[in-house]
Amino acid sequence: MKARRWVLFIGLNVAVSVVTTLIVLSLREELGPVAVVTPSPGALVLGRAPTPTPIAPTAINPEPAVEAIQPTAAEPSQYTVQQGDTLGGIALLHGISLQNLLLANNLAEDDFIQPGQVLIIPLGEVVAPTPPTPSPIPATPTPSTPTPFPSATPTPPGPVEVRIKEILAAGNLAREGIVLINRGRTVNLFGWTLSAAGTDEAYVFPRLTLAQEVPVTVYTMAGENTPQALHWGLGEALWVVPGMNVELRDAEGDLVATFAVP
């Protein structure tokens, strides 16, 4: 009886093992192969958090501040006219245009310049002043007045001190001349006249800038004009009467100086 119980117990265990094995095999066929998942380096894994590796801060060196350099405005220079200088030559010497030199000094291209005269040398472009546009005015007939002499370049403000210094070789046409000298500030003689008192004969000055303490001689005979020597162009001596007054007048006709023929 006891042996029979052991046989039944062993048989029951074998039956349970066989059933369990069959169930496991059946479930495996239904679920398929089981994948083994290996966590990637960036995946979150439950558990203890990894210790972060400290990153040393990188020092940033700021660029040194550069001090802004403010440009300084260039100022015009001055040049003293030497013997033999011309306006074109002075402009070329200083690397500027002749037009800029003329505008800066209120000169015309055919003006004479004198040794010792101080000129302004501009360092930039000189812009000629634009005259204002006049408002239209109804035209009204006005009588025309003849102008005896050409209009003159305005004389800078200040006293005019042009004087008749002497008369050279009065009565000798080949050498006769009147010497003028400027005792005041620089003046432009354009349009001025030289004449004998009481006569209609008058010499009209060309464009000539006369610097301070610089003389100029007006010869009676004909010849080529230079900054120091002008020529009236007459065919006979003019200053032959002792006591005759020589008159120097400006472009407006105002008397500037007189001199008596010795």
Residues 115 and 202 in one domain: no
**Matching residue, tokens 């007048």:** 249
pLDDT band at 9; cut points 50, 70, 90? confident
Domain assignment of residue 242, given as a range: 162-260
Which residue, 121, 145, 173, sits at the end of a domain?
A: 121
Is residue 218 a part of any domain in this protein? Answer: yes
Average pLDDT, the chain: 77
pLDDT, residue 47, reads 47
DSSP string across the chain:
-HHHHHHHHHHHHHHHHHHHHHHHHHHHHHH-PPPPP---TTS--SSSPPPPPP-PPPPP-PPPPPPPPPPPPP--EEEE--TT--HHHHHHHTT--HHHHHHHHT--TT-B--TT-EEEE-SSPPPPPPPPPPPP-----------SSPPPPPPPSS---EEEEEEESTT-TTT-EEEEEE-SS-EE-TT-EEEETT-S-EEEP-SBEE-TT-EEEEESS-----SSEEE---SS----STTPEEEEE-TT--EEEEEE--
pLDDT, residue 147, reads 42
Give the type of residue at 114: Q
pLDDT band at 217; cut points 50, 70, 90? very high
Is residue 253 a part of any domain in this protein? Answer: yes
Is 17 or 222 the better-scoring residue by pLDDT? 222
Residues 249 and 190 in one domain: yes
pLDDT band at 43; cut points 50, 70, 90? very low
Is 248 or 150 the better-scoring residue by pLDDT? 248
Is residue 200 a part of any domain in this protein? Answer: yes
DSSP string across 38-50:
---TTS--SSSPP
pLDDT, residue 165, reads 92
Alpha carbon 152 to chain centroid, angstroms: 30
Q: Cβ neighbours of residue 81 under 8 Å, at least 6 residues apart? A: 90, 113, 114, 115, 116, 117, 118, 119, 211
HSE (CB half, 13 Å, CA atoms) of 109?
5
Which residue, 66, 90, 121, sits at the end of a domain?
A: 121
Residue 208 belongs to domain with CATH number:
2.60.40.1260
For residues 262 and 258, give the distance between their C-alpha atoms in angstroms, rounded to a whole number: 13
Residues 168 and 225 in one domain: yes
Q: Span 198-225, mean pLDDT?
A: 90
Give how far Cα 153 sits from Cα of 22, 230, 236, 248, Å.
131, 19, 31, 17
Residues 174 and 116 in one domain: no
162-168 vs 118-121, strand pairing mode: unpaired
Residues 176 and 252 in one domain: yes
Domain count across the chain? 2
pLDDT, residue 155, reads 45
Is residue 47 a part of any domain in this protein? Answer: no
pLDDT band at 251; cut points 50, 70, 90? very high
pLDDT value at 151 more than 50: no
Is residue 183 a part of any domain in this protein? Answer: yes
pLDDT value at 157 more than 60: no
Identify the weakest region by mean pLDDT among 86-100, 134-148, 167-181: 134-148
Is residue 5 a part of any domain in this protein? Answer: no
Read off the pTM: 0.51
pLDDT value at 52 more than 70: no
Which residue, 100, 121, 142, sits at the end of a domain?
A: 121
Percent pLDDT > 90 in the chain is 27
pLDDT value at 150 more than 60: no
pLDDT value at 136 more than 80: no
